[in-house]
């Protein structure tokens, strides 16, 4: 199954947040979530992507749930346009805003995008299947040695987050990156569990 086929199949998903199908792309930092989310959004007719990094802060890297709910999920759930703050990691403060229209699809990407508090609003949850150690090697290679200290702190925070609030066990699709480019998909734990649920009367 290709990414294009996965995107095409999303037409059959019911709206999950107002009129919008909210698709989450989760995985370890450095795994390639932003690239996957961008490619998926293009295949979904130019859907908008909300990045959890835009809602997080240095002090609270995972403390963005309430902000996402108040600024994005709440308005979209009511069928209204949303506006969320965008954090500037260089200035260390929220420095701009971004509008989000209530369209058929919205992609939410970032570490923790599939957390428990968000899952009731999701139409589909994708987990990018890259081991944590490999993802961190990629991230360090991408960001350079000047951010090595940041990565040390981030690694501890990410490990603590997933220990308390794991995403992978609830993924609908596991996404594997192919060596030559592209993706390979497999049913996630949530999809396998649904297949074994007894039929409802």
Phi, psi of 49 (to 5 degrees): -115, 130
Phi, psi of 59 (to 5 degrees): -75, -30
Q: What is the pLDDT of residue 133?
A: 87
* Predicted TM-score of the model (pTM): 0.91
Identify the domain containing residue 150 by its residue range: 3-194
Q: How crowded is residue 179: how many other Cβ atoms within 10 Å of its Cβ?
A: 5
Residue 186 lies in a domain: yes
Instruction: Provide the 3-class DSSP secondary structure of residue 20.
Output: strand
Q: What share of the chain is helix, strand, coil (3-state, %, to 5)?
A: 40, 25, 35
- pLDDT tens for 67-88 read 999 999 999 999 999 999 999 9
Q: What percent of the chain has pLDDT over 90?
A: 77
Q: What is the pLDDT of residue 198?
A: 41
Q: How far apart are the first and last CA of the chain?
A: 32
Query: CB burial class (10 A; 0-12, 13-18, 19+) of residue 82?
Result: buried
Residue 201 lies in a domain: no
In angstroms, rounded to a whole number, what is the distance separating the alpha carbons of residues 166 and 25? 14
Residue closest to 10 by CA, chosen among 23, 19, 26: 23
Q: What is the pLDDT of residue 102?
A: 97
Residue 172 lies in a domain: yes
Residue 53 lies in a domain: yes
Instruction: Please tell me what DSSP assigns to residue 2.
Output: -
Average pLDDT over residues 9-30: 96
Q: What is the pLDDT of residue 137?
A: 87
21: domain CATH number? Answer: 3.40.50.300
Q: In total, how many domains does the chain have?
A: 1
Q: Which residues contact 183 (CB under 8 A, 6 or more apart)?
A: 2, 3, 36, 175, 176, 177
- pLDDT tens for 145-173 read 888 887 788 889 999 999 999 999 999 99
Confidence label for 111 from pLDDT (cuts 50, 70 and 90): very high
In degrees to the nearest 10, what's the CA dihedral of 74, 76, 80, 84? 70
Residue 141 lies in a domain: yes
Residue 27 lies in a domain: yes
37 pLDDT above the threshold of 80: yes
């Amino acid at each position: 199954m290709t990414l294009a086929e996965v995107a095409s199949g999303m037409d059959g998903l019911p709206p999950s947040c107002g009129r919008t199908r909210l698709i989450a792309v989760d995985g370890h930092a450095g795994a390639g979530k932003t690239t996957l989310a961008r490619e998926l959004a293009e295949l979904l007719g130019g859907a908008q992507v909300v990045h959890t990094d835009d809602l997080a802060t240095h002090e609270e890297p995972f403390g963005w749930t309430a902000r996402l709910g108040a600024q994005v999920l709440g308005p979209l759930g009511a069928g209204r346009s949303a506006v969320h703050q965008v954090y500037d990691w260089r200035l260390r403060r929220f420095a701009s805003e971004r509008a989000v229209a209530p369209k058929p699809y919205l992609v939410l990407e970032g570490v923790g995008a599939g957390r428990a508090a968000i899952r009731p609003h999701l139409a589909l949850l994708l987990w990018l299947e890259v081991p944590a150690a490999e993802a961190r090697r990629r991230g360090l290679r991408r960001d350079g040695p000047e951010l090595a200290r940041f990565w040390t702190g981030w690694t501890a925070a990410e490990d603590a987050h997933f220990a308390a609030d794991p995403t992978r066990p609830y993924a609908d699709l596991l996404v594997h990156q192919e060596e030559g480019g592209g993706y390979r998909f497999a049913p996630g734990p949530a999809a396998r569990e649904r297949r074994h649920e007894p039929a409802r009367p």
